[in-house]
Amino acid sequence: MVKKVLITPRSFQESGIPACGLLKERGFETIINDTGMAFTEEQMIEKCAGADGIIVGIDPVTEKVLKSSHKLRAVSKYGAGLDNIDLEAARKLEISVERAAGTNATSVAELAIGLMFTLARDIPYSAGSTRKGGWDRKKGVEITGKTLGILGLGCIGREVARMADGLGMKISAYDPFVNANDVNIIRYGIELTGVEEILRNSDFITLHMPLTDETKHMINRKALEKMKSAAYLINTSRGELVEENDLYDALVNGVIAGAAEDVFSKEPPGEHRLLSLDNFILTSHIGAFTKEANEKMAMASAVNLLRILENES
């Protein structure tokens, strides 16, 4: 009997052609999401029926989805974050879960650095002025010599550190799972410290933590009030790391200078009041949305899925 693989990421149709070819060569039938939208839980339950494996993007892989998929043996994440997958339910049901760790690190890190420059020079203001026929300017700040605080030193956080080191920034970081003897800590002169110190001392803070019960809303009113008034916040990780109403108040009241995010608790955000602020930038979850990252994620997620399913054969 032919094994079936459900592929949900919207960019897979273009970037995943070689990966789909590999799956088909190995005898797997692929079911691809061609709707242009992420699936809902109900759609996932319907689409997963009869699937032996899933390559999943941001679609919900809940306990209901997993329990309804009686043939399902493997879930391969197209990316690194696993917060949309019920890992405990998967463990109980003996469904293996893998992720394409590191494949999007450069793309997300480049966006984080790009957002730092965008905030430091208020590029949207100047570009908007000239588009309207004006020539208005706002005085910016240099990034060289500034202190960058990195919360989370996984693949993406380390890549941000590498780039920031090349820009001449001072780098401090917090990650409870990183050892001070790590080669990257030494190579880029990273000072490992606590969250409180990073909040108080950094000129720029960039978030690269996974979403867990402990990290949800880690950037809240209390955290923001500890930051410098001239500091900037960048979030290319998960929207729920930031308490968005507290961020709005902080930006309106000058508690911090500005913030840029590529993620939001609800995507798209609708008419959230943060979008009315000149010192807030939101991009449409484009961190990993590059040709290179998509191709690497597609192939890695296919290879991970094959390794699980073929080892069980």
- Cis bond leading into 176, ω under 30°? no
Query: pLDDT tens for residues 35-62?
Result: 888 999 999 999 998 999 999 999 999 9
CA–CA gap between residue 202 and residue 7 (Å, rounded): 41
30, 147: one domain: no
Going by C-beta distance under 8 Å and a sequence separation of 6 or more, which residues neighbour residue 91?
Answer: none
Assess whether pLDDT exceeds 90 at residue 249: yes
Same domain, 172 and 57: no
pLDDT at 312: 63
To the query of whether residue 272 is one of the catalytic residues in this protein, the response is no
Q: What is the pLDDT, as a whole number, of residue 183?
A: 86
d(CA 180, CA 170): 16
pLDDT of residue 160: 98
Mean pLDDT over residues 77-94, rounded? Answer: 94
For 30, the domain range is 3-103+291-312
Tokens 């990195």 locate to 150
CB contact at 8 A, 62 and 87: no
Cα–Cα distance measured from residue 188 to residue 152, given in angstroms and rounded to the nearest whole number:
15
Nearest 5°: the CA angle 111, 114, 117 is 155
Same domain, 17 and 119: no
pLDDT at 313 over 60: no
- Of 238, 240, 261, 295, which residue is the catalytic one? 238
**Which among 29, 142, 267, 292 is annotated as catalytic?**
267
pLDDT tens-place string over residues 105-159: 999 999 999 999 999 999 999 999 999 999 999 999 999 999 999 999 999 999 9
Q: Do 80 and 192 fall within a single domain?
A: no
Mean residue pLDDT across the chain = 95
**Rounded Cα distance, 167 and 158, in Å:** 14
Whether the CA torsion 159, 163, 165, 166 is positive or negative: it is positive
The answer on 230 and 187 residing in a single domain is yes
What integer is the mean pLDDT of 167-178? 96
Indicate whether 258 and 301 sit together in one domain.
no
Q: What percent of the chain has pLDDT over 70?
A: 99
Helix (H) or strand (E) holding 108: helix 105-121
- 70 annotated active-site: no
- Token representation of residue 151: 């919360």
**47 shares a domain with 85:** yes
Provide mean pLDDT across the span 155-176: 97
Residue type, 205: I
Q: Which residues contact 64 (CB under 8 A, 6 or more apart)?
A: 41, 45
Whether residue 167 sits in one domain with residue 263: yes
Q: Helices 123-131 and 105-121, interaxial angle, to 10°?
A: 70
Helix (H, G, I), strand (E, B) or coil at 307: helix
Q: Rounded to two decimals, what is the model's pTM?
A: 0.90
Name the strands in the sheet holding 74-77, side by side, starting at the edge strand that comes first in the sequence: 28-32, 3-7, 53-56, 74-77, 96-99
Residues 35 and 98 in one domain: yes
Q: Are residues 189 and 68 in the same domain?
A: no
Active site residue 267: yes
Between 280 and 83, the more confident residue is 280
Q: Is it the case that residue 75 has pLDDT exceeding 70?
A: yes
Q: To the nearest 10°, the Cα dihedral for 245, 252, 172, 196?
A: -60
Report the CATH number at residue 79: 3.40.50.720
Q: Answer yes or no: do 74 and 133 share one domain.
A: no
162, 151: one domain: yes
- Phi, psi at residue 95, to the nearest 5°? -105, 120
Number of domains comprising the chain: 2
Structure tokens at 217: 């809303």
Secondary element (H or E) of residue 173: strand 170-174
